[in-house]
Chain A
Amino acid sequence: MTTTLKLEALTCPSCLQKIQKALQKTNGVQDVQVRFNAGKAIVQADPDVVSSQALADVVTKLGYTVKKITTK
């Protein structure tokens, strides 16, 4: 399952690394791509282990706002 998290605009490159690593460490996540300029995190994850909402929560906990969650 692919979850796309639309984030607020990212400005610091370390924010990107932070979000990337936090998502990668989450159980059930297979692949993470964070787009700095588009302000998006695209996450491939096992829906049986981790829900889209749980992925969004990981980002929220870091202090970033998730504007929209889409799954496919």
Chain B
Amino acid sequence: MAFEQWIQQKIKPITAIAAALVALGLASHWLGQTFLQQGFYIIAAIIAGVPILLRAWSALRMKIISIELLVSVAVIGAFIIGEYDEAAFVTFLFLFGDFLEQKTLAKTRQSIQTLADMAPTTALVVQPDGQTAEIDVDDVVPNQELLVKTGAQIPVDGEILTGRGDLNEASITGESRLVAKENGADVYAGTILENGTLHIKATKVGDDTTFAKIVELVEDAQDTKSHAEKLIDKFAQYYTPAVLVIALLVGLVTQNLRLAITVLVLGCPGALVIGAPVSNVAGIGNGAKHGVLVKGGAVMTTLRNVDTFVFDKTGTLTQGKTTVTTIHQDDPTGLQYAARLENDSDHPLGRAIVAYAADHQLLNPGLKVTATQTYQGLGIAAQVDGQQVLVGNQALLKQYQVTMTPQQTATMQTMQTQGESLVLVAVNGQLTTLLGISDQIRPAVAERLQELKQLGAKQLVMLTGDNERTAQAVAAQIGIDQVHAELLPADKVKFVKQLQSEGRTVAFVGDGINDSPSLAQADIGIAMGSGTDVALETSDVVLMQSDFTELVHAYGLARKTVGNMRENIVIALATVAFLFLGLIVGVVDMASGMLVHEGSILVVILNAMRLIGYQRPVKKIKENWQIAKEN
């Protein structure tokens, strides 16, 4: 119906006019102009009442007993008994409350809206003749070559063909630090090229881009309800019709129409229905802004209850790539020789050495290598640049009767207890260089795990396929309570199951690639995935930057969000109880009832808005750390 549409679009001016009329009514009342007063109130009630009545009717046609219906019946009742002032107040307050709800709800939804607005709209296609043409991003097809200029958005997921540039990937990771990328690197739709020019090949377009998936996931999450919310929804479905019946009964029994319509207004379930979802929306929105994707209200609630965190080691607690972490040498010659020899091998330890040498400008492919001998499980021996060079473990050096000083032996032992793999380099029978190679622990893991405990985590468990010694060394450095090494993926799942059978709520934190079974088995699967599809799909929570700060943020946020939701439910129930008590005592009438009711809705929304600015509680924990240290 066109009229209905017109009315709903003009709801703001209608509310404003009703406000003015109510004010005029009040003024007339003070001036003693009873006739004028009644006139203003009647017009106000009709103007504000029509949109409410229309909404009630359109819902009723769908067999829905809406809040608007309760209000409409109440207002008609008020007209029958000549309470025009009450009718005017109630209708105006209802519309005005709705207006304020819209404004405040928009704030709680802002994070996701901001995210969705970051979606790219156009792309520059490179045509066969080398010219570019601007097209709608929806028309880009995979493998098409696109040009991205400085300051522009990457339109689709792609791979850099030529060029280099600094990208702001905040839309994907929540982190606005610039990332330098060049040939062959992957770029993501929605990220911004801050400087440089890129030619990219489209790999994923439309709904398949990581960005589109994130938006879809967050939007879906905000409307995925927790058990408590589902229960409330069910309750509300019966509650609203029940209020109508109760009001009818009250009217019939007491023969008091005034009382009956007051019950109708007081019975509106507003704050209860909106209270829990609004906390979730704000909480999930906050997460999205900080690179933490939480898949819905139910996940929030379970995450809050997690008492045991199980971590995969490689790629989760550690970077997942071996690097040279310690080096003992007098001069870099040994390292240079080792790098030259390992350049031809693809041993993981060798690759780490080559990478380290490359970083320190010590790669010299010009060095001549002759008489290479490879010993399986020991290392390499060769003539490099005319010198006799050994690169390998202690056993290799022993075989060549290379001796070491007591100090060197002690250094080696220290390195081993730190969980490092040793590579020794001897030149002409002299041990010159000791290299410690390990999979580096992610930054600040120890501090972040401590923070998890401060927030309420009871036990931190590490599971790994790696050997016992390395596992223990890593665990000792970061403060893990329980370590289980040399496990197969299937063993990890069993372990999670066992913890669950002991009555714990388990979160499994993994990289989402080879941990999928454990992620699925745990009560909460947390994936550290820098924009990988698998991570997005298999887990309940995704940490976009693979950062432990995000993990702490997620856990703290879940606690705050669930707490906030509970507060809102209490506020809503207390309001209803207060109103009915007031009714019994006789201090609450229809208009003041509506005022309190609308007020309570605003209070729960405002309460939820506190979640928008939630930050990981950094300062307090630092202080506690210092106290702990001093003791």
A interface, CB within 8 angstroms of B? 9, 11-15, 17-18, 21-22, 25, 35-38, 40, 60-65, 72
Expressed in whole angstroms, the minimum distance between the Cβ of A6 and any Cβ of chain B is 10
B interface, CB within 8 angstroms of A? 1, 4-5, 7-9, 54-55, 58-59, 62-64, 66-68, 98, 101-102, 105-106, 109, 112, 116, 207, 219-220, 222-223, 233, 236, 273-274, 277, 281
Tell me whether B62 and A37 are in contact (CB under 8 A). Answer: no
Tell me whether B109 and A11 are in contact (CB under 8 A). Answer: no
**A35 with B219: in contact, given A63-B7, A63-B8 (CB under 8 Å)?**
yes
Cβ contact of B222, chosen from A15, A38, A64, A65, cutoff 8 A: A38
Tell me whether A21 and B63 are in contact (CB under 8 A). Answer: yes
CA of A28 to CA of B394 in the docked complex: distance in angstroms? 75
**A14 with B223: in contact, given A38-B112, A61-B1 (CB under 8 Å)?**
no
Residues of A within 8 A of B66 (CB): 12, 14, 17-18
CA of A47 to CA of B105 in the docked complex: distance in angstroms? 35
6 CB contacts below 8 A, A to B, read: A11-B105, A14-B59, A18-B62, A35-B222, A35-B223, A61-B1
Of chain A, the residue at the smallest CB distance from B284 is A37
Residues of A within 8 A of B222 (CB): 35, 37-38
Tell me whether A14 and B67 are in contact (CB under 8 A). Answer: yes
CA of A11 to CA of B112 in the docked complex: distance in angstroms? 16
**A18 with B59: in contact, given A37-B281, A38-B112 (CB under 8 Å)?**
yes
Expressed in whole angstroms, the minimum distance between the Cβ of B412 and any Cβ of chain A is 59
Of chain A, the residue at the smallest CB distance from B109 is A37
Tell me whether A9 and B68 are in contact (CB under 8 A). Answer: no
Tell me whether B219 and A18 are in contact (CB under 8 A). Answer: no
- In the complex, which of the residues A18, A60, A61 has the most CB atoms of chain B within 10 Å of its own CB atom? A18
Expressed in whole angstroms, the minimum distance between the Cβ of A37 and any Cβ of chain B is 4
CA of A47 to CA of B200 in the docked complex: distance in angstroms? 36
3 A-B pairs with the lowest CB-CB distances in the bound complex, closest first: A14-B66, A38-B219, A63-B8
Given contacts A9-B102, A37-B281, A40-B219, 14 further A-B contacts (CB under 8 A): A11-B98, A11-B101, A12-B98, A13-B233, A13-B236, A13-B274, A15-B55, A18-B64, A21-B62, A21-B64, A37-B223, A38-B223, A62-B4, A63-B54
Residues of B within 8 A of A12 (CB): 66-68, 98
- In the complex, which of the residues A17, A25, A65 has the most CB atoms of chain B within 10 Å of its own CB atom? A17
Expressed in whole angstroms, the minimum distance between the Cβ of B131 and any Cβ of chain A is 29
CA of A35 to CA of B58 in the docked complex: distance in angstroms? 20
Residues of A within 8 A of B9 (CB): 65
The interface residues of chain B, by DSSP majority, are classed as helix
CA of A41 to CA of B55 in the docked complex: distance in angstroms? 19
Cβ contact of B277, chosen from A25, A36, A62, cutoff 8 A: A36
Tell me whether B220 and A63 are in contact (CB under 8 A). Answer: no
Expressed in whole angstroms, the minimum distance between the Cβ of B5 and any Cβ of chain A is 5
CA of A4 to CA of B273 in the docked complex: distance in angstroms? 25
**A13 with B273: in contact, given A63-B8, A64-B8 (CB under 8 Å)?**
yes
Cβ contact of A17, chosen from B59, B101, B106, cutoff 8 A: B59
**A63 with B55: in contact, given A14-B68, A37-B109, A38-B112 (CB under 8 Å)?**
yes
- In the complex, which of the residues A9, A11, A18 has the most CB atoms of chain B within 10 Å of its own CB atom? A11
Residues of A within 8 A of B233 (CB): 13
Of chain B, the residue at the smallest CB distance from A33 is B223
**A17 with B64: in contact, given A12-B98, A72-B207 (CB under 8 Å)?**
yes
Residues of A within 8 A of B277 (CB): 36-37
Residues of B within 8 A of A17 (CB): 59, 62, 64, 66
CA of A14 to CA of B236 in the docked complex: distance in angstroms? 10
Cβ contact of A63, chosen from B58, B64, B102, cutoff 8 A: B58
Cβ contact of A62, chosen from B58, B98, B220, cutoff 8 A: B58
Residues of A within 8 A of B105 (CB): 9, 11
Expressed in whole angstroms, the minimum distance between the Cβ of A22 and any Cβ of chain B is 6
Expressed in whole angstroms, the minimum distance between the Cβ of B74 and any Cβ of chain A is 16
CA of A69 to CA of B59 in the docked complex: distance in angstroms? 23
**A9 with B106: in contact, given A14-B64, A18-B64 (CB under 8 Å)?**
yes
CA of A15 to CA of B52 in the docked complex: distance in angstroms? 12
CA of A25 to CA of B78 in the docked complex: distance in angstroms? 35
Cβ contact of A60, chosen from B5, B236, B274, cutoff 8 A: B5
Expressed in whole angstroms, the minimum distance between the Cβ of A38 and any Cβ of chain B is 4
CA of A38 to CA of B113 in the docked complex: distance in angstroms? 8
Of chain B, the residue at the smallest CB distance from A37 is B222
Expressed in whole angstroms, the minimum distance between the Cβ of A23 and any Cβ of chain B is 10
CA of A12 to CA of B68 in the docked complex: distance in angstroms? 10
Residues of B within 8 A of A25 (CB): 62
